[in-house]
């Protein structure tokens, strides 16, 4: 098996946020895609180790923001390499609090989706959450960041617990 074949699969870059019992959190995810149009549904694959997993599983609510190419390495580092369990990721980040008290990230984002989790599939290390979209908003026309752009232009890497991690 050539592991590098997996690097040929294209993705986008997203922030997934949630809130449960007044605790807020969020993380970077590249494994977000639309599954159906009517009703509009989206899946996300999230590691069971992540604080965001705990919030999604318990609240059954997720907000997904699409990241733009101008997102800084510092910003991605905050959401992609640190845990909201012990670190406030939202200071110096623009958010809108939605009716469920979930912070919608609007910094370095061009659109967002407010969703209800209607199903989930346990895949050993990760859970695939199926989210039904209740509201979608376009913030601007800045270019969406792809996973490829993140690697090739930003020279970023992916941590071990991400679903698309490739061991060297
Ligand atoms: C480019 C990139 C893509 C990532 N994609 C995912 C993903 O799809 N699913 C996932 O569970 N973690 C993914 N991660 C890792 C999480 O963002 C990371 O573990 C984060 O620190 C979890 O934070 P939390 O504990 O506050 O939830 C990704 C990280 C990066 C940098």
Closest protein CA for atom 8 of ligand 1:
29
Residues forming a β-bridge with 115: 62, 133
Contact 126, 45 (CB under 8 A): yes
Mean pLDDT of all residues in 8-34: 97
Taking the CA of residue 84 as reference, the ligand 1 atom at the shortest distance is 26
Residue 46 near residue 56 (C-beta atoms within 8 A): yes
What b/e sequence results for 130-145 when a residue is b if at least 16 CB atoms lie within 10 Å of its CB, and e otherwise? bbbbeeeeeeeebebb
pLDDT at 88 over 90: yes
43 C-beta closer than 6 A to ligand 1: no
Atom of ligand 1 at shortest distance to CA of 28? 17
If you average pLDDT over residues 37-44, what whole number do you get? 98
| Residue 167 in this model has a pLDDT that exceeds 90 | no
Residue to probe by mutation, ligand 1, list 6, 11, 47, 103, most atoms within 8 Å of CB: 47
Q: Is the pLDDT of residue 103 over 90?
A: yes
Q: Give the distance (Å) from ligand 1 centre to CA of residue 52.
A: 9
Look at residue 68 in the predicted model and tell me its pLDDT.
98
- CATH number, residue 47: 2.30.110.10
| 7 occurs within a structural domain | no
The residue range of the domain holding 109 is 13-152
What pTM was computed for the model? 0.97
Residue 49 located in a structural domain: yes
Per-residue pLDDT, 101: 94
Q: How far is CA 8 from CA 1, 2, 21, 147, in A?
A: 14, 11, 40, 11
CA-to-CA dists, residue 144 to 49, 100, 147, 154, angstroms: 27, 26, 10, 14
Average pLDDT over residues 104-129: 98
Atom of ligand 1 minimally distant from the CA of 80: 17
Number of domains in the chain: 1
CA 128–ligand 1 middle distance (angstroms): 14
The answer to whether position 74 is within a domain reads: yes
Task: Pick the atom of ligand 1 nearest to 46's CA.
Answer: 11
Percentage above 90 pLDDT, the chain: 92
Contacts of 26 (CB under 8 A, 6+ apart): 15, 16, 17, 18, 52, 79, 84, 89, 90, 103, 105
Instruction: Output the 3-class SS for 85-142.
Output: CCCCCCCCCCEEECCCCCEEECCCEEEEEEEEEEEEEEECCEEEEEEEEEEEEECCCC
Answer whether residue 6 is part of any domain: no
Q: What is the pLDDT averaged over residues 135-154?
A: 97
């Amino acid at each position: 098996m050539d592991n590098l074949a997996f690097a040929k699969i294209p993705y986008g870059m997203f922030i997934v946020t949630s809130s449960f019992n007044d605790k807020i959190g969020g993380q970077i995810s590249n494994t977000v895609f639309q599954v159906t149009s009517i009703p509009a549904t989206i899946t996300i694959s999230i590691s069971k180790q992540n604080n965001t997993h705990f919030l999604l599983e318990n609240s059954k609510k997720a907000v997904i923001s699409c990241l733009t190419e101008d997102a800084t390495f510092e910003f991605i580092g905050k959401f992609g390499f640190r845990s909201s369990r012990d670190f406030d990721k939202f200071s110096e980040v623009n958010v809108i609090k939605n009716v469920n008290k979930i912070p919608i990230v609007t910094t370095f984002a061009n659109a967002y989706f407010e969703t209800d989790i209607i199903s989930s599939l346990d895949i050993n290390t990760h859970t695939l959450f199926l989210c039904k979209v209740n509201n979608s908003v376009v913030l601007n026309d800045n270019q969406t960041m792809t996973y490829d752009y993140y690697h090739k232009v930003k020279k970023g890497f992916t941590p071990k617990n991400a679903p698309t991690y490739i061991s060297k």
